[in-house]
Every structure is written in structure tokens, then in C-alpha cells.
Amino acid sequence: MQIIKDKEIVEDNWLHLDDEAELAAGNITVSLARWQEQHETLANHESGLGLRLTGADPLEEVVPDLDSFSLIVLDFPAFTDGRCYSFARLLRDRFGYKGEIRAQGDILHDQLFYMTQCGINSFEMANPNRIESALAGFDDFTESYQTTVLKPAPLYRRNR
């Protein structure tokens, strides 16, 4: 499957493992429940390990383990569910997470600009057929007023 990563279309090399599925070789992501249950086994996984979070998960509890993950997948069950925008900002700004943060679920062209500002850098699009045209979404705006993950000072301090 193709995804967008760092504003480019790339082939995805991660497997999202169901809680019941057997461990597989290669890069895998697991749910928080599975991580909490099997973290000792998973910590020895030879390839990349990623964690999937939903907006209902207790983000702060995961913080001590962040170094174990090279990918964090944030779930957007509906694109109107904005909880994980806050998760992304906290992961970047407060908890210093430097790995890949990926948005998964109902991800449309029209959310890419905001999501990027919040620190999300890869995207599994809801409609992979339009992935090419979705790239335009990154350039919807050239500026933003706020302090964001990408812009650590507000517009007025940078430019006015």
C-alpha cells in the first residue's frame, strides 16, 4: 500500500498486527493493550516496532516507553474526531518524540495541513486512489498565526 511520508508518496513497509495475530517478522505495529501485555517479548522484536494509539488511550502512561517505538500510529476513526491532534502535539512538544507519527483512519486531503502543523508526518489516506492529488493539501496555506510543532514561534514574533 502507498502512503504519504514526509510529503512524498512511498510504499508502506509496516504491518499492523491484530491483537490475536501471531508475531511476524519485519516492521510491526501493535495496540496499546498488546504492548502492555507482551512488552517483554515485543521489546526484543528484531525489526521496527510501532505503537497504535486511539484518542481514548491514556497517552501519559506510554511516555516512559516511547524509546521502544520508531513509529506511533494515531487513530482517526472519523475525521471529525480531533483528539489525536492534541496527542501529536504532546508527543512532539512535551514528550520529545522524534520518530514517525502516522495518521490512520478517515484521513482526507483537507486535514493534511493541520495534521502536519501538529507534528504528524505520515498518512494512510482513506482514499488511496487520490493520494497524488492529496499532496496539494500540504500547501493550502503558506502561513499560520499560531505556535505549532513546525513553527515554534507565533507569526507576530517571526514576521511582524
Partner 1 sequence: MYQYDKYDQAMIDQRVAQYRDQTRRYLAGELNEEQFRPLRLQNGLYVQIHAPMLRMAVPYGLMSSTQIRKIADVSRKYDKGYVHFTTRQNFQLNWPALETVPDILAEFASVQMHAIQSSGNCIRNTTSDQLAGVCDGEVEDPRPYGEIIRQWSTFHPEFAYLPRKFKIAIVGNPDDRAATQVHDIGLHLVKNHEGEVGFEVLVGGGLGRTPILGKQIRPFLEKKDLLSYLEAILRVYNRLGRRDNKYKARIKITVREHGINHIRELVEAEWVEIRDQLELDQKEIDRVKGFFTEPEYEVTAAEDDSFAKMQVEDKNFARWVKQNVVAHKKPGYKVAYISLKAPKNPPGDVSAEQLDVIADLADEFNMGEVRSTHTQNLLFSDVKQGDLYALWLRLETEELATPNIDTLTDMICCPGLDFCGLANATSIPLAKEINERFDDLDYLYDLGDLKVKMSGCMNGCAHQSVGHIGILGVDKKGEEWYQFTLGGSSEADASLGQRLGRAIPKDDVVDTVSTLVDTYLELREQDEPFLNTVRRVGVDPFKERVYADN
Residues that bind partner 1 (CB under 8 A): 55, 79-83, 85-86, 89, 93-94, 108-110, 113-115, 117-118, 130, 136, 140-148, 152, 154-157, 159-160
CB of 119 to partner 1, least distance (A): 10
CB of 56 to partner 1, least distance (A): 9
Compare residues 42 and 134 and give the one whose CB is closer to partner 1: 134
**Which residues are CB-contacts of 120 (< 8 A; sequence separation ≥ 6)?**
74, 88, 101, 102, 103
Compare residues 14 and 121 and give the one whose CB is closer to partner 1: 121
Compare residues 65 and 106 and give the one whose CB is closer to partner 1: 106
Could you give the CA distance from residue 69 to residue 50 in angstroms, rounded to a whole number? Answer: 5
CB of 108 to partner 1, least distance (A): 6
CB of 6 to partner 1, least distance (A): 18
Q: Where are the alpha helices (DSSP H) in the chain?
A: 32-43, 59-62, 83-89, 112-117, 131-134, 155-159
Handedness of CA 2, 102, 111, 107 (dihedral sign): positive
The angle formed by the CA atoms of residues 2, 110 and 133, to the nearest 5 degrees, is 45
Compare residues 11 and 143 and give the one whose CB is closer to partner 1: 143
